[in-house]
Structure 1
Amino acid sequence: MAEVSVIVRTKDRPKLLIHALESIARQTYSSCEVIIVNDGGEDPDISRIEEILGGKFKYCRIDESKGRARAANVGISASTGRYVAFLDDDDEFYPDHLEVLVRCLNETDFRGAYTGCRHVLKSYDPDKGEFVVKRVITEFGRDFSFPLLLFENYIPLISVLLDRKTLEEIGGFDEELEVFEDWDMLIRFSRRTPLVYVPKVTCQYNAWSRNTQKAAFGGFDHRDVYLKVIRKHRDLFTPEFITFWQFHEKKVLEQHYGELLNSLNRENHSLRQEVDLLRRDNENLKEWCSNLETARRQLLDELRTVRDSLAGVETDYQRISRELELIQKSFGWRLISGYRALTSRLFPEGTVRGRAYSTALSAVKGLLERTVSAGHKIKSVDKPVGSGRSVNQELSVCFIVNHLDGGQRYRGYHMSEYLGIAGIKASVIPDNELPARADEVFRHSVVVLYRLFYSPLIDDIVKTCKKNDITVVYDIDDYIFDDEALPYLNVRGVSKDELRQVIRNHRKAMDLCDICLVPTEALSRLVSATGKKAYVIRNALSSEVINISENAYALKETNNSRIYIGYFSGTTTHDQDFLVASEALLAILEHHPDVDLLIGGHLKLDARFDRWIEKRRVRFLPYVHWRYLPYNIARADINIVPLVQNVFNDAKSELKYFEAALLRIPTVASPTESYRFAIRSGENGFLADGTEEWVKYLELLVTNPDLRKNIGEKAYFHTMNTYSPKAMAPRVAGVFREIAG
């Protein structure tokens, strides 16, 4: 026989009932039976209940609703356990609820006990298919006081466990009471034997949004019923009791109402913060709408451009079709067609004659090519010994970039801008526009392949470049060209076999070239280990990014009472990196209620952050186009760059530092090689090695606004002097002049 009977009262709230029963199924204490009492509502899904509880439940149906007290008494009559617990269908137990209460009663002489109870506002999210906590309202829980119980129903019924025989002896619940039936029962139970309080929150009393809760019981005048309960126990209000209460319990009541007042003040403060957050969200939404409208107009302009281009293509197609028709009618075309038909008859494919003809034709073509090539070189090339290109050929650079990779901005378009400032011609061709624009490639003296996979097309382009004395450079900005990098690659949704194939495709394309271009010294050493010469050009800024960032900085909110620590991720590969700073961030959130965490882009947080997400202390921003990224970064007061220290991350660039520095935002970063290059710790940022240093430097910046401003300003000036187009142009031009020889 079960030691505990849990009585569940329900009426026409099937989703809430299932939620409540699931909390019983999760109990760590297993010797219990469940009595489900349906007070005149529609029958629930019994098969679903069996899935949750197995066979350990009884179902009692009251055909016509008789009220809460009647439903409770029916449950008591059907129960067989030594103890009785109560759970209405809209509330829930925490997993150790029954275990805590049973242990208390079994180890003491008390016949009734109760625990702390959390009161929360919840709602049902149909998109997620789950119940979510909107906010915590308050917590019930104080030592037992019979005089206080006479004045106030301060013990939620969900939190109690009572001896069944004593409960039956006092007559259960008073069915004349529409509400406060639990308060009246507890007063009568306590007149027989006192209750004991276990100071631990083990259950949850839920208040529900209107769209979730369907009222099971009608409305009553609670004041009249309250007076009815007081009159029922008026024999306890003797002169002696009133005197005792006045002199001995008055402070208890004052303290209790003081706590209630403090709770209301906290709730008021919480609501004000909620209103502030909603106001800021509304302002951000307006800004996003404005940005989206701008993007929509840009797309319409681009669409018009594409339509104009298509019209031009259609015109060209019609012209070429007419020219082809004229060619096919010409004497030359008929002569060539006749020649092809004749050779097909005289030298059929697959025959000895056919093979001999093909061999002779290839020899003639080769001889013609060598003759034309030699004649060209004699006419236009005057090459000194050892030169890879003509002394008469002007330096110009073509960047063929991986159109799917975000780094194409830094390694292609930004580079092109720097060379243009230095007076060197440069162009950028996305790889998806090949082979249509292949002829443009061969007009340059240096061709850079940024992060391209190997393909027959790339192979042909490289071979053609080399044949025409064009220097080909492979640009790679991550350690993704060696199988030894595989352990460091963790991309959500991508298997190790797929990552290995990515590495090998990059390496095969890289092996076509003799020279490599990289953004960091660490990556240069890794490339050099493969036997190739590597040049370093660091990732840096464009004029457009600087202008956008200045606009974002001008719009930055400066009178915000909250402090935002920002983390911005551009890919799904940084989950492990973020763990480096997780302990420190949790400590900061715990000890600094004015600090929030801002997550931009792709990141999967672990369960330790759940309660901060529920409290809206962790805010999420979507991954956005790079032109809108500065506006997201500008919302932060402190920028963090946590990285696991290994050879892979040492090879990564410091771009997260200078993107935040443009907005005068100080950065705390892990001391990888690139961030040691960029940050002089304590001057233009901080380098944190280990949780203790992360906490130390975040504390410094959180508590000292003048330090945040000072560090941010120094980072800005350092960035403009080091990573601006004006600063980069002479360095980049020098590297390409050396590459070109």
Structure 2
Amino acid sequence: MTDRIKVGFVLLSNTQNAIPSTRIVVLNMLPYLKAAGFDAQIVFEPATSTKTPDVSGLAEKIKAQNFQIVVLQKVFGDSVLELARELRQAGIKTVFAICDFVNPAMCEATDATIVVTDHLRSLYPKEQQGRIWVVHDGVEKPQFHKTDWGTHSGSSARPLNAVLVTSAGLDRLPLLGSPPDWLKVTIVGRYSPAGSRWRRWQENKWQMDSKNGASERWRYLKFLASRRIVCEAWGADSVYDAMQRADIGIIPIEVDPVRDPTGEWSVKSENRLTLKMAMGLPVVATPIPSYEPVIEQGVNGFLARSNGEWLHYLAALRDPALRQSVGQQARQTALSRYSMDRQADKLIAVLRDVAGAAPHTATSTEQARA
């Protein structure tokens, strides 16, 4: 029997208050790694989430405990680069994972880099791409899904419900502005709970004070006053309740260099899309590089490139039979391609390859990079 490969994880966030990426990339994977024969342990977690932690002195602890691989979960900066160099000198392999941004310096300093999409891998320097693997975000709770897509087509008196899940506290409905009169939109994001009226009032006041000019303030007032836009606080369980109540999933993204000069939208993972698809929701989304390979237009979802297309595809989904057909196909796609099981297999293949614990065959490489 071979010795267990000892893997240490340096985390982006604390395990007691783990942000989604830490949960998806590391915590959800630990049982799979254990079952595959790895000795996986957390070697560093910050008190509060930070991408640039101070990890000085950590190399000595890692060396003393005989780790063979250290996974750096979305952390970088001078201190992390120095850690990677010290571990390399000690013969300990390092993996930079899982990244929704481009950081050639970290890729150069480590033995392997894991990114969330093929598009993101293509953005790295050509000479580094041979050391970059693709492991997608795995669907977390596939047991939650729709079984009833309704029989009504929506009206002003009984609107259909579209859900938008976001990590932000949106102060407008992107692209659409105002929903058609037969549709209500529930935005699940960074808001105070509805019962916390004082905190919600403070949030609204802060947003209002941050607006420039009367037109911006008026637009925000209309957003707050709209009876067809509801803002709910994100919660690990309540987000699934919100999706269960919904008829349609939407992901409108403003691909706008003025509103988003960083272009962060272009390197995002499929997570928000596959989350809704695994629920069995028919989704209309803005086409971004990570979404385009997933959506088969009109079969398991819709990509809308203009306001006219948004309204057209939303109107098409007033048909209950189409909502059910697209929703069922969406769930099948999400579970077959983006299950935790499949992503764990890819992660395990990467770690075994880095450790030299398995033959570097075409099969294992293709599985990890698919």
Fold shared per TM-score above 0.5: yes
Following superposition of structure 1 onto structure 2, how do residues 543-562 of structure 1 map, counting pairs within 5 Å? Answer: 545-547=141-143, 549-550=144-145, 553=146, 561-562=158-159
Matched, 1:640 2:288: no
Residue 629 of structure 1, aligned match among 239, 248, 259: 239
- CA-to-partner distance for each residue in 1:560-597, whole Å, 9 max, x for gaps? 9431111111135x779x53x225xx3x42xx3x4211
Q: Show the counterpart of 1:449.
A: 72
Aligned position for 1:400: 10
1:227-238 equivalences under 5 Å are none
1:362-404 Cα shifts (integer Å, max 9, x gaps): xxxxxxxxxxxxxxxxxxxxxxxxxxxxxx7643433211016
Helix, strand or coil at the partner of 2:187: strand
Residue 195 of structure 2: aligned partner: none
**Per-residue deviation at 1:425?**
3.8
What are the superposed Cα offsets for residues 293-321 of structure 1, whole Å, 9 maximum, x if unpaired? Answer: xxxxxxxxxxxxxxxxxxxxxxxxxxxxx
Residue 707 of structure 1: how far off its partner (Å): 1.0
Question: Once the 2 structures are TM-superposed, how far is the Cα of residue 717 of structure 1 from its aligned partner?
Answer: 1.6
How far is the alpha carbon of 1:438 from its aligned partner?
Answer: 7.0
Q: Which runs of 5+ in 2 are unaligned?
A: 48-54, 153-157, 192-206, 209-215, 257-262, 357-370
Counterpart of 1:670 in structure 2 is 286
Match of residue 466 from structure 1: 88
SS across alignment from 1:643: coil
**Is 1:516 equivalent to 2:150 in the alignment?**
no
- Which of 335, 341, 359 is 1:726 aligned to? 341
Name the CA shift for 1:425/1:452 in 2 (closer, same or farther; >3 Å): same
TM-score, length of structure 2 as denominator length = 0.71
> TM-score when scaled to structure 1?
0.37
Correspondence for 2:321: 706
User: Match for 1:415 among 6, 13, 29?
Assistant: 29
Structure 2 residue aligned with 1:276:
none
1:616 to 224, 227, 236: 227
1:286-685 correspondence to structure 2 within 5 Å: 394-403=4-13, 405-432=19-46, 439=61, 442-456=65-79, 458-459=80-81, 461-479=83-101, 481=103, 512-529=109-126, 531=128, 533-542=131-140, 545-547=141-143, 549-550=144-145, 553=146, 561-571=158-168, 579=174, 581-583=175-177, 586=178, 588-589=179-180, 592=181, 594-602=182-190, 607-608=218-219, 610-611=221-222, 613-624=224-235, 626-645=236-255, 648-685=264-301
Q: Which amino acid aligns with 1:690?
A: S
Paired AA for residue 539 in structure 1: D
CA distance in 2, matches of 1:614, 1:650: 32
Deviations 1:126-169 (A, max 9, x none): xxxxxxxxxxxxxxxxxxxxxxxxxxxxxxxxxxxxxxxxxxxx
State the distance in 2 between where 1:661 and 1:649 align: 19
- 1:451 is displaced (CA, Å) by 1.5
Aligned to 1:694: 310
**Alpha-carbon distance between aligned partners in 2 of 1:422 and 1:680, rounded to the nearest angstrom:** 34
1:611-642 CA-partner distances (Å, limit 9, x unpaired): 46435221110133x34321233232111112
Aligned to 2:212: none
Change (3 A) 1:693 1:446: same
Task: Name 2:213's counterpart in structure 1.
Answer: none
> Is the 2:59–2:86 contact (alpha carbons within 8 Å) kept by the matching residues of 1?
no
Assess if the C-alpha contact under 8 Å between 1:683 and 1:711 holds in 2.
yes
- 1:736 maps onto 2:351 in alignment: yes
Query: Structure 2 vs 1, CA of residues 615 and 689 (structure 1 numbering), >3 Å: closer, same or farther?
Result: closer
Paired residue total = 307
In 2 relative to 1, CA 619–557 (structure 1 residues): closer, same or farther, beyond 3 Å?
Answer: farther
Higher-RCO chain (CA-CA 8 Å, sequence separation at least 6) = 2
C-alpha deviation, 1:536, in angstroms = 0.9
In structure 1, list runs of 5 or more residues that go unmatched: 1-391, 482-506
Please state how far the C-alpha of 1:546 moved relative to its aligned partner.
Answer: 2.8
Q: Which structure features the higher share of helix residues?
A: 1
Aligned in 2, Cα 1:436/1:470: closer, same or farther, shift over 3 Å? closer
Give the secondary-structure state (helix, strand or coil) at the position aligned to 2:28: helix
* C-alpha distance in structure 2 between counterparts of 1:438 and 1:409, whole Å: 26
Alpha carbons of structure 1 residues 428 and 720: separation in structure 2 relative to 1, 3 Å = farther
Give percent identity, aligned residues only.
Answer: 22
Residues 419 and 733, structure 1, Cα contact 8 Å, conserved in 2: yes
